[in-house]
A and B are shown apart, each in its own frame.
Chain A
Amino acid sequence: MNNRINNHPILGKREEKEKVEIIFDGNKITAEKGEMIAAALYANGIRINRYTIKYNEPRGIFCAIGQCTDCSMVVNGIPNVRTCITPVEKGMVIETQYGLKRSGKTND
């Protein structure tokens, strides 16, 4: 499921961007240079970024401007990274955040 908007009546055709490879919970995913992590995952049909500590509830993008912190994930081993405002980088290892723990699936 790829929900990128390739042509738009106002914004016009989306120019091709350089592809960037990232690892999400152990699987290879293609993102685009300069794109935000949460956006890249959403484009690949992934919109659950973390599960909460107390009630293990799924959470994802809510404000999209780095204020609500519900899009936090473990990025290169560091937890609580707000992925809606953090650009992707080549070879980034991104894991769903389970409470405070990493998903542990990082074998790239």
Chain B
Amino acid sequence: MIEKELVIIGAGPAGLSAAIEASKANVDVLLIDENQKAGGQLFKQIHKFFGSSAHYSGVRGIDIGKELIQKCEDLGVEIWLDSVVIGVFPNKQIAVEKKGKGLKTIRAKKIIIATGASEKVINFEGWTLPGVMGAGAAQTMTNVHRILPGKKVLMIGTGNVGLIVSYQLIQAGAEIVGLVDTASKVSGYEVHSAKIEREGVPLYLDHTIFKAQGTKEKGVTGAVIVEVNKHFQPIKGTEKEIDVDVVAIAAGLKPLSELANMANCKKTYISKLGGWVPLHNENMESTEKGIYVVGDTTGVEEANTALEEGRLAGVDVAAKLKKLSNSESENIKKQINKRLKDLRLGPFGEDRLKAKKKLIKEYNKYIKAQRPVNDYNTGPKAVIECNQEIPCNPCESACKFGAITIGEPITNQPKLDEEKCIGCGLCLHKCPGLAIFLVDKNYDNKNSTVSFPYEFSDLPQEGEMVEALNRKGEYLCEAKVLKIKKLESFDKTPIVTILVPKKYADQARNLSPIGAD
């Protein structure tokens, strides 16, 4: 098992800038990407970037990629390319297929997930024919593989991707027979649509593709487009047939958050950010402590916002690992947030600014709801409340399942591995400090159970109602005694289990019989 302070998954703009910020504060960083080259989408973005000078504006995507990679190498960031993360597992364990080196498992203190976005699709008759492809796919073929996808291309969608890829296909020598969009006006930047309109490319607004036609041998050979009414339904009789050999679909991007979902990070649906996105706070930390989500993974925006979100996470990780003082990190974060705010101005940016605020609001709502860390019901688990370094370890040997470890020296505080604890409760009576309890948080959809040692003469009966008390002996609620376990081997330490509403699961630690003075 390899141990790493910070593992960053995805070497696009967000991942690269996170690696740079973190390693600048000499955090031990490992950056992983499944492609042969780092840079993510940057390497097919041959256009110059918008934004302020802090974001390489005016520089082409491919050159930004090269510069970021150079910075990483200069800072000594360890980079594994051609390496696929197949899963993020409990306790921040990451499994990676490192090309030619087999499976590597890494235990990370902090994880930053920057796995970007992938293309949305739309379905129409004939959409599975070869030659029908994503606009991003056409861009990859043209700018990365330097192969022309086709001679006559129909582009579906007038968002920025549709407009920019159409322009780049013209540069590469293809003919764009038209852009089709059900909207009544171009949804991307007008400056982008102007670039292709002055090349004589027709825009078919209030239109949609009715079907693609083709043969088993050649794939796509033509397409039929049709006008749509207010409800986006095709208007009979307005069909137009066009001779094409490629249909490119630019239906927007959706966040790729498989690894965050697998790691139990909570998510919500925000259409302005591309669909289902993992929740995060101001430092880009997800609802799973120590796991961050940055860039398109947590909201499809631009490369420059991805850069800033990466920096934000990198700085916060450095601060949390005590490699940066709080004042230093707060200072840097302030500058980043200023730049992020600028990037989310104007008619296009505002929606995204509002959406990001909503994301953070939902994060706070979730955290405040104090939902149990694992809201799947795991049955009873031991809870060890022994917070001093006492030379004592009977609990370690009491557990048959190796769930409690003290090790050397004997004064170590006991550590519980919840995975291994099956809730048998055999450690409770063994603890000389009576400091171990058994809590079943999700006993049923309303209640939890709490078990604790009770070495007093007024031991209640099973089924009796008692008063549940907290750690200070204060009354919490009435509780039913579900079980009393008094075995020989407990050596006069009966274990009582009481039923309490879920909200008292972490407070009820004792009982007093009703009517007692």
Contact = CB atoms under 8 A, between A and B. Distances in A.
Contacts of B4: none
Interface string B115-137: 00011000000001111111011
Interface stretch (A1-9, A19-27, A73-81, A100-108): A1-9
A53 B477 CA distance: 63
Interface string A1-41: 00111001111001000000000000000000001100100
B179 to A, nearest CB: 20
Contacts of A57: 128, 216
B147 A39 contact: yes
Contact of A65 (B118, B142, B217): B118
B137 A62 contact: yes
A62 B219 contact: no
Interface residues of B, number: 33
A51 to B, nearest CB: 8
A43 interface: yes
A5 B133 contact: no
Interface in B347-402: none
B132 A62 contact: yes
A92 interface: no
Contact of A4 (B46, B119, B147): B147
Contacts of B171: 8-10
Contacts of B134: 62-64
A35 B137 CA distance: 16
Q: For this complex, into which size category does the number of interface residues on chain A fall?
A: 20 to 34
Contact of A5 (B147, B150, B216): B147
B451 interface: no
Contacts, number: 87
A61 B148 CA distance: 13
Nearest to A35: B145
A64 B146 contact: no
Contacts of B140: 64-65
B130 A48 contact: yes
Nearest to A42: B147
B147 A3 contact: yes
The interface residues of chain A, by DSSP majority, are classed as: loop
B385 to A, nearest CB: 48
Contacts of B146: 4-5, 8, 11, 14
Contacts of B219: 47-48, 58, 60
Contacts of A47: 130-131, 219
B141 interface: yes
B307 to A, nearest CB: 21
A24 B178 CA distance: 34
Contacts of B413: none
Interface string A59-92: 1111111110010000000000000010100000
Contacts of B137: 61-65
B131 A8 contact: no
A77 B131 CA distance: 26
B90 interface: no
B148 A5 contact: yes
Interface in B425-452: none
Contact of B128 (A4, A11, A59, A65): A59
B463 interface: no
Nearest to A65: B140
Contacts of A87: 36
For B133, B146, B173, the residue with the greatest tally of chain A CB atoms inside 10 Å of its CB is B146
B266 interface: no
Nearest to A60: B130
A5 B130 contact: no
Contact of B136 (A11, A60, A63): A63
A64 B172 contact: no
B46 to A, nearest CB: 5
Nearest to B142: A5
A93 to B, nearest CB: 21
Contacts of A11: 46, 143, 146
B60 A10 contact: yes
B127 to A, nearest CB: 9
Nearest to A50: B130
Given A5-B172, A39-B147, A58-B129, 19 more contacts: A3-B149, A5-B142, A5-B148, A8-B171, A9-B171, A10-B60, A11-B143, A39-B145, A43-B147, A48-B217, A51-B216, A57-B128, A58-B219, A60-B130, A61-B130, A63-B118, A63-B134, A64-B141, A65-B118
Q: Which 10 A-B pairs have the closest CB atoms?
A: A60-B130, A64-B137, A39-B145, A3-B148, A64-B140, A5-B146, A10-B46, A47-B130, A5-B172, A43-B147
13 contacts: A4-B147, A4-B148, A5-B146, A11-B143, A47-B219, A49-B130, A51-B216, A58-B219, A60-B133, A61-B141, A64-B133, A64-B138, A65-B140
Interface of B: 34-36, 46, 60, 118-119, 128-134, 136-138, 140-143, 145-150, 171-173, 216-217, 219
Interface of A: 3-5, 8-11, 14, 35-36, 39, 42-43, 47-49, 51, 57-67, 70, 85, 87
